[in-house]
Structure 1
Amino acid sequence: MADVFLRAMEALGRYEDRGLPFVAFLFRVARNAAIDKSRRTRPDLSVDELVNHPESGQNVEADAMRSIERTALMNAMAKLK
């Protein structure tokens, strides 16, 4: 949080009064600092990690096979009618 105050002090010279509250300027500085920090600390994931660990926790391959089997079953049942 101290870095936000430091950034605000450094940016103070660039502040222009445009009829907006000064607190809006401070919030913008804090927002930009938070975005910068999240960019620095966000872990990078490889494509392989994303493929091997789907976020939903479901087995995508098994879901695809079930869908194919369901479609084949529905087609076979339609031919029986």
Structure 2
Amino acid sequence: RGIAKNLFNSFEELIIKKYPEIGKIKDRLIEEGALGALMSGSGPTVFGIAQNKEQALKIYKKLKLEYKSIWVVQTI
């Protein structure tokens, strides 16, 4: 949980102004239960952090209906 509250990417504000879909994807991840969401690097990848595998799969099942490229992964 701690890491999800401290997510930050200085490029996000600039990129979201040009590509608002990035912000919409972040919002959807949070709406569906992600603890946090962030654009990776300079984009366009966006990721969300889930509490556990079950929550990640729940988010995945909802968002796969809206987006064609979505995965559930685990940190190593």
Shared fold (TM-score, shorter chain, > 0.5): no
| Bigger share in helix | 1
User: TM-score, normalised to structure 1's length?
Assistant: 0.27
Q: For the pair shown, which has the larger CA radius of gyration, 1 or 2?
A: 1
| Bigger share in strand | 2
